[in-house]
Structure 1
Amino acid sequence: MSLGGRPPGSRREIKVIDTTLRDAHQSIWATRMRTDHMLSMIDDFNGAGFEQVDLMAPIQFDVSVRYLKEDPWERVRQISRRLPNSKVRALIRSRNLAAFDFLPHDVIDAWVDRLVANGVKVIGAFDGLNDIDNISRALVRAKEHGVETFGAVSFCESPVHTDELFVAKAQELIEKADVDAIMLKDAGGLLTPDRIRTLVPALKSVMGDRVLEVHTHSLTGLAPLVCLEAVELGADAIHLSVAPLSSGNGQPSTQSVVRDLRALGYVVNVDDERVDAISNRIREIAEEEGKPLGEPVEYNGLHYMHQTPGGMLSNFKSQLETAGLSDRYDELLHEVARVRKELAYPIMITPFAQFVGTQAVMNVMAGERYKVVPNEIKKYVLGYYGTLLAEIEPELREKIIANGASDIRLEPSEPAPMLPSLQERYPDEDLDTWLLRAQFAGSQVDEMKKTVAEGGNADEIPQPYFGLIKALYEKSEDGQQHLKFGDLAISLDKSK
């Protein structure tokens, strides 16, 4: 191994891109870190020396609106203002953002505009099929605003996902979007030291002086070693999260990897005391609200077969138990691998992980493969989400098209602009709100706005005991409430 026998000495500086405020709590807390959580440790983030602070992707907007009942744009504004010493970063998911179907260009363009206007200094994009045409327009627009840009080369293991393919995609990002950095994005935690030894040098050979970032997850326990090996081979920046929001489904921990990089002689300019303060605050929040902590996991070779994100595995178990088929869990994982192969190896990240997983569940539960075909699978086969990297077997393609919804057109078309109609329907709202309405159907945005106006979080109580007492007080009909739990007694009287 290249790590062995390397004496410490004066070596280059490695930048840390912090993921604690975005991907870490997405992976371990189901994206349930609130803005007030973030603000409670923002001074330490500002002083920690992180090159960039990763803050928002579409799922953070989604959970903020639908579950936390917070205004996600206000989060962007507040955090950006409070982090003058670090660049706030945002990630765009292809052309579907928080939805499954593609959104029109006017929404994507405005999304980029508003990220910049609200304080984001670094904008990047990824596409689950590595179809660069799906993301180049947004990256070019971001660069026109004068912010830094990065393009993601999304990694997975398959016969078609070769080093040559990833290098070609990096070159395409550079040619079509002139990105400042390439992000090797391993959402499935599939990278190994062996693969890094060929892939990182290959990418660096075509990137010139652009920055190579490495982003991986600790799902197989190999991620810390992958990060160290990537640096040894030329990576310039690595994505880490502050423990205990690290390991397991999340990124490697800042504390551990920084320690090891320094032991190898690299310069890493982060403030250890500030990082420890953030860590302590995370533990406080977890204890106060019963949230889990990240824990290291053992190596799991089965993961390389199905490549399914950790959160989906628990959903699979629940669905099978509901259907009385819990004994078929292993069969389902094998079916996931089979469906993914048949569908030309889409990368198991949103939205394609959901597409493949749903089709596999339907195949197992229906007893006949592809008897039931979700709309998204038919659209995928027809090219609605971009160009596939391999051909789908003709008979299977015909079966999927025949068993899918008949109202799905065989030729995808460009979606019509949305912003003019939203402006007409909601003339008193601003562009930020119209962009939320473009993605979240029904009353979700109205419910979020109502909760914000009332000054609270509907589904997430910041202080559980205080929130319970407040709710009891407001619901009391006679003005009094009396509760007793052992030696603890609480009496509420509105008349006093």
Structure 2
Amino acid sequence: VRTVDFLNIAKETSYALSNAWALECWGGATFDVAMPFLYEDPWDRLRKMRKLVPNIPFQMLLRGANGVAYSSLPDNAIFHFCEQAKKNGVDIFRVFDALNDVEQLEVGVKAVLKAGGVAEGTVCYSRDMLNPSKKYNLEYYMGVVEKIVNMGAHILGIKDMAGVLKPNAATMLIGSIRKKYPDLPIHVHTHDSAGTGVPLWLPVLSCADAVDAATDSMSLTSQPSMMPSSHLLEGSDLTWVHPSQLVKMCHYWAQLRLLYSPFEAGLTGPDPEVYEHEIPGGQLTNLIFQASQQGLGEQWAQTKKAYEQANDLLGDIVKVTPTSKVVGDLAQFMVSNKLSYNDVLEKAEQLDFPSSVLEFFEGLIGQPY
């Protein structure tokens, strides 16, 4: 999305969302999109938005020791980046590591603290915590949370990047964290890929302090829809905005999405299979587009299945940028070369794996659990 399209609705946004916890509007993939595709300066975007929206805290996504890149950068680069981001308008830094590698995560948290920003140390949620056969269980998450708290993070973030956090799991996980850390602010980020994001809010907000939402037309693989959420909470102690305040802003983005429709991936509804393949919301539409570009568009069902198998081959890893790219690259490699799970195991020494897969095994992305 072009900078001008953000700026055209900025003043209305500053009014409609004046009670919002924060406005996530920078970091993460901003640099990937703004520079190579739009030929825009992401720093200029940040400064212009900050000027037009002075009343809402700005939040950015920081990939720990990776910054906004896909592999680890020198620590001094991360510290300098955070210092500049704070000076140019970022208030809250949601810091995560794609493998929940605490050492990688701590680099980002320390950089934010030194820059004077608000550090939100984040644990990435993967798989079904209630399934006793999965390694990512309550004990695992509580261990990661304890280390994040000990880093000195101001806020705890729970990042459900695929939208697979279920109500009972949310109640157990967030309730356990709240019981152990009664004064710790908890922020839950989920995606609505399966279409279940809005109902998840009720159990989540019984224990957490903040949740993420997206304008209606930008929801689905993004965050739960803002307008239905505001209606759901209307009249309760959790009311934060009247739905009528959101109308103009939501209409604007609905119209604007039509402008970008030639770039749509063709995902027209929820994908409940996300509970099986766990493709993150931020990757789902990209992967559909990439599959089409590689002539695999008609094999999308096979690609999703291969994504599950690729994840298992890599050791059942946490999947979010950049590790999700590793799994996606391996899945497309398997489909395009007609390789099964067993084929990869048997022919591994002869296969020319994608570079991202090699970098993962070389440890350049971090240490998996």
Whether TM exceeds 0.5 here: the answer is yes
Report whether the alignment pairs 1:240 with 2:213.
Answer: yes
Give 3-state SS (helix, strand or coil) of 2:25's partner. strand
- Which deviates more, 150-159 or 311-320? 311-320
Larger RCO, structure (CA 8 Å, separation 6 or more)? 1
Give 3-state SS (helix, strand or coil) of 2:295's partner. helix
Task: Give how far 1:39 is off.
Answer: 1.4
Q: What code does the residue aligned with 2:36 have?
A: R
Report whether the alignment pairs 1:51 with 2:51.
Answer: no
Residues 11-410 of structure 1 mapped to structure 2, 5 A cutoff: 32=1, 34-48=2-16, 49=18, 50-157=20-127, 159-176=134-151, 178-232=152-206, 234-246=207-219, 248-263=220-235, 265-288=236-259, 290=261, 297-298=269-270, 300=272, 302-309=273-280, 310-315=284-289, 317-318=291-292, 321=295, 329-366=300-337, 367=339, 368-369=343-344, 370=348, 371-389=351-369
Unaligned runs of 5+ in 2: 129-133
Structure 1 distance, partners of 2:249, 2:209, is 24
Structure 1 distance, partners of 2:259, 2:332, is 37
Distance 1:107 1:190, change over 3 A: same
- Which deviates more, 265-274 or 145-154? 265-274
- Residues 287-317 of structure 1, C-alpha deviations (whole Å, 9 max, x = no match): 45547699983462x3222212422441464
Structure 2 distance, partners of 1:81, 1:333, is 43
Structure 1 distance, partners of 2:167, 2:119, is 27
Distance 1:51 1:303, change over 3 A: closer
8 Å Cα contact 2:59/2:93 also seen in 1: yes
Distance 1:346 1:315, change over 3 A: farther
- Residues 346-380 of structure 1, C-alpha deviations (whole Å, 9 max, x = no match): 22211111111212222333344132222332332
8 Å Cα contact 2:121/2:153 also seen in 1: yes
Task: Give how far 1:320 is off.
Answer: 5.8
Task: Give how far 1:222 is off.
Answer: 1.0
Structure 1 distance, partners of 2:237, 2:36, is 43
Count matched residues.
Answer: 349
- Residues 436-467 of structure 1, C-alpha deviations (whole Å, 9 max, x = no match): xxxxxxxxxxxxxxxxxxxxxxxxxxxxxxxx
Task: Give how far 1:384 is off.
Answer: 2.4
8 Å Cα contact 2:31/2:42 also seen in 1: yes
Query: What TM-score does the superposition give when structure 1 sets the normalisation length?
Result: 0.66
Give 3-state SS (helix, strand or coil) of 1:215's partner. strand
Structure 2 distance, partners of 1:269, 1:387, is 40
Task: Give how far 1:117 is off.
Answer: 0.9
Unaligned runs of 5+ in 1: 1-31, 390-496
Identity %: 21
8 Å Cα contact 2:214/2:223 also seen in 1: yes
Query: What TM-score does the superposition give when structure 2 sets the normalisation length?
Result: 0.87
Task: Give how far 1:120 is off.
Answer: 1.1
Structure 2 distance, partners of 1:333, 1:295, is 14
Structure 2 distance, partners of 1:201, 1:378, is 39
* Structure 1 match to 2:131: none
Task: Give how far 1:221 is off.
Answer: 1.1
Task: Give how far 1:278 is off.
Answer: 0.9
